[in-house]
Amino acid sequence: MSLRQKLGVLVIFLAGYAVAESPQDAARKAMEASVARQRAAVARMQVSIEKQRAAVAAAARPEPAQANNPPEFFTLSWPAPAPGCDALPAAELDPLIQQAAQHEGVDANLLRAVANQESAFHTCAVSAKGAMGLMQLMPATAQQLGVQDPFDPAQSLASGARLLKQLLDRFGGDTALALSAYNAGPERVEETGGVPPIPETIHYVQQILARLP
C-alpha cells in the first residue's frame, strides 16, 4: 500500500472516530445540563425551607401574656424583611395585584395598600408572631386558604384578596371594618361593633385608608 493510500485510510479512520464520539459528547453535555438544573432546583428548595424554618421559629417564640391582646388572625406586629429580601419590583408586583384583585372582585388599590402596609412589598417578610409574605398570612390562615407557599407573591396576593373579599362581604362592604378584621380578627370587630379600640389597629386602618384614591 502506498503512502498516499495509507494516509487516506488514516483520514477515514479519524473521521469515523470523530463521528462516533459526537453522540457521547452530546450525552455528556445533556447530563451536565440536567445536573445543573437539579442543583438549581435543590438550591431553590433550600431557600424555601429556610424561610419556612424562620417562620416556624418566629411563631414558636413565647410572648408575654397581655389581657388586651386580640385573637391572633394576621399580625399586630410590623414585619421585618428577611436578610437579603428586597421589595418586589413594580414590574412584577403590579400584574400580580391586578390579577388577584380582578379574580376575587376587590379593588386593586385596596389590595395594594394592604400589601404595602403589611409587608412594604417584601415577599420574605416575617412578623414577630410568624405572619409571612406580602400579605402577612399567619400559618393557620394560610393553611385554611390552601396556600402552599406563603412566600410566593402570587399565592400571597391571591389569598389576601380572597380574604379581603370575604371580610368585605361579612361587614357589609365597610372597608374600615374589613381592614380592622384583617388586622385584629373579625371576632374582635363584631364584639366591639366597630373598629376595635386598639391603637395599632386604628393606626393600621387610618394608614391604609389614607393611601386609597
Note whether 101 and 161 are within 8 A (CB): yes
For residues 175 and 63, what is the distance between their CA atoms, to the nearest angstrom?
30
Nearest to 179 by CA among 155, 197, 163, 157: 163
Nearest to 100 by CA among 175, 159, 146: 159
The yes-or-no answer on residue 50 being catalytic is no
Q: Give the gyration radius of the chain's Cα atoms.
A: 28
Q: Which of 118, 187, 191, 200 is catalytic?
A: 118
Q: Is the dihedral of CA 71, 112, 130, 41 positive or negative?
A: positive
Residue 49: its H or E element: helix 3-60
Reported as half-sphere exposure (CB side, CA atoms, 13 A), residue 133 has a value of 23
- Grid cell in block for residue 28: 455528556
Q: How many helices (H) and strands (E) does the chain have?
A: 8, 0
The residues annotated as belonging to the active site are 118
